Amino acid sequence: MLVVACKTHDGLKALLTYGKKGPMNKISGLHGVGASIGRPLDDRCLVICLEKLRPYAGEFIADDPQRRLAIRRKPRYVNEETPPVFLGFAVNMINIDTANLYCVTRTGHGLRETLFYGLFSQLQVYKTSADMMEALPFIIDGDISVDGGIIKSGGIFSLGKM
């Protein structure tokens, strides 16, 4: 599956071109690029427009060169301690190349708070599926484990080897 991310709505429009009578022109735009390299785009593709995403609205971790998000809703026990099995939020575990770190939309939002927050939101990461099960009461937007476990919000589980 092909996924393309565009900064602006104009970028999105440039990917597709249409003839005068409406049908898509498959020799220009994204379809033209695919055809020119011998990989025609006959299937659907997903296009994510960064300026149309609702960005993360909170703070950033102070003095963090990666501009990680200061997500306040960490899983916590009644005594306010974070479970030791919690590795972090997926959105903050992505290291963005310095060249792309300050790639921002017209409103000043970067890749982490638009694209990656839009994809991962507050997805929690744990080392093992057993750790995920231990943290079940704390799950907000789903979680994943390094060993391949997945818990989607709403009680949907995907466990076992991939």
Mean pLDDT taken over the chain: 85
Give the start-to-end residue ranges of the domains of the chain: 3-52, 55-162
pLDDT tens figures, 9-48 = 888 887 777 667 766 667 777 777 777 888 877 777 788 9
pLDDT (0 to 100) of residue 55: 94
pLDDT of residue 111: 94
* Residue whose token pair is 């099995």: 85
55-162 sits in which CATH class?
Answer: alpha beta
Residue 89 has pLDDT above 90, yes or no: yes
**Which of 158 and 88 is assigned the larger pLDDT?**
88
Which class for 92: exposed (0-12), middle (13-18), buried (19 or more C-beta within 10 A)? buried
Measured in whole angstroms, the distance separating CA 5 from the mean position of its chain's CA atoms is: 11
How many Å is the maximal CA-CA distance in the chain? 66
β-strand partners of 152:
156
Q: Which of 89, 44, 96 is nearest to 67 (CA)?
A: 96
**What pLDDT is stored for residue 45 in this prediction?**
78
- Tallying the residues shown for the chain, one arrives at 162
Highest mean predicted confidence (pLDDT) among 5-9, 23-27, 62-66, 138-142: 62-66
pLDDT of residue 154: 61
Question: ∠ CA 133-139-145 to the nearest 5 degrees?
Answer: 50
Bigger pLDDT: 24 or 136? Answer: 136
